[in-house]
Amino acid sequence: MPPVVERQIEVLNTLGLHFRPATKLVKLAAQFQSDITVSRGERTLSAKSIMEVLLLAAEQGTMITVRADGPDAEEAMEKIASLFARRFEEE
């Protein structure tokens, strides 16, 4: 059984998951084999699709759930959490 990792992450950067941060997130997620999803409320969307990440419409302060499922799930989660924590290097 490959590990499944799940974590609640707050969107810290001012503009939220707008174009550039979303692009960075999708690019990062694409590097991993694991299935990676982002959820907000009822909505669960693929972190590897730019369209879906934008559809999350996560503004600053939103709590989202990131879930990684696959052989490199742990590493993926660390890198993604760190990207959010660094506010996508936007500001």
Partner 1 sequence: MEIRKGVPVSAGYAIAPAFVLDSERYRIRKRAIGKSEIEAEIRRFEEAVKVSRQDLLDLKQQWSDRSGNRLSELFDSHIMVFEDKRILDEIKKRIGENHFTPEYAVSRVFRKYVKLFMELSDGYFRQRVSDLHDVERRLLRNLLGKKRETLSRLQEPVIVIARDLTPSQTAQLDRNMVVGFATDAGGVTSHTAIVAKALDIPAVVGLGTITADVSGGDRVVIDGNRGHVVVNPDEETLKKYRVLSRNFQSFEQKLNEEFKNLPAQTPDGAKIKMFANVEFPQEVAIALAHGAEGVGLFRSEFLYRGGKEPTETQHFEAYRQAAEGLGGKPLVIRTFDLGGDKQFMKNPETEPNPILGCRSIRYSFKHLDQFRTQLRGILRASAYGDVRILFPMVSSLEETMTAKMQVDETKELLAREGTPFNEKTPVGVMIEVPSAALTADLIAPHVDFLSVGTNDLVQYTLAVDRVNERVADLYQPAHPAMIRLLKHIVEAGRRAKIPVTVCGEMAGDATFTLFLLGLGVTELSLAPALIPEIKKIVRSVTLAEAREIVEKVGEFGKASEASAYLRQRVLSILPEAF
Nearest approach, Cβ of residue 27 and partner 1 (Å): 8
What are the catalytic residues? 18
Query: Phi and psi dihedrals of 47, rounded to 5?
Result: -80, -5
Nearest approach, Cβ of residue 23 and partner 1 (Å): 5
Nearest approach, Cβ of residue 1 and partner 1 (Å): 25
Site string for partner 1, 16-55 (x = CB under 8 A): x-xxx-xx--xx--x---------------x-xxxxx-xx
Spatial distance between the Cα atoms of 38 and 74, rounded to a whole number of angstroms: 15
Q: Which two tokens stand for residue 68?
A: 């990684």
Kindly tell me which of 50 and 81 has the beta carbon lying closer to partner 1. Answer: 50
| Site residues for partner 1 per CB under 8 A | 15-16, 18-20, 22-23, 26-27, 30, 46, 48-52, 54-55, 57, 59
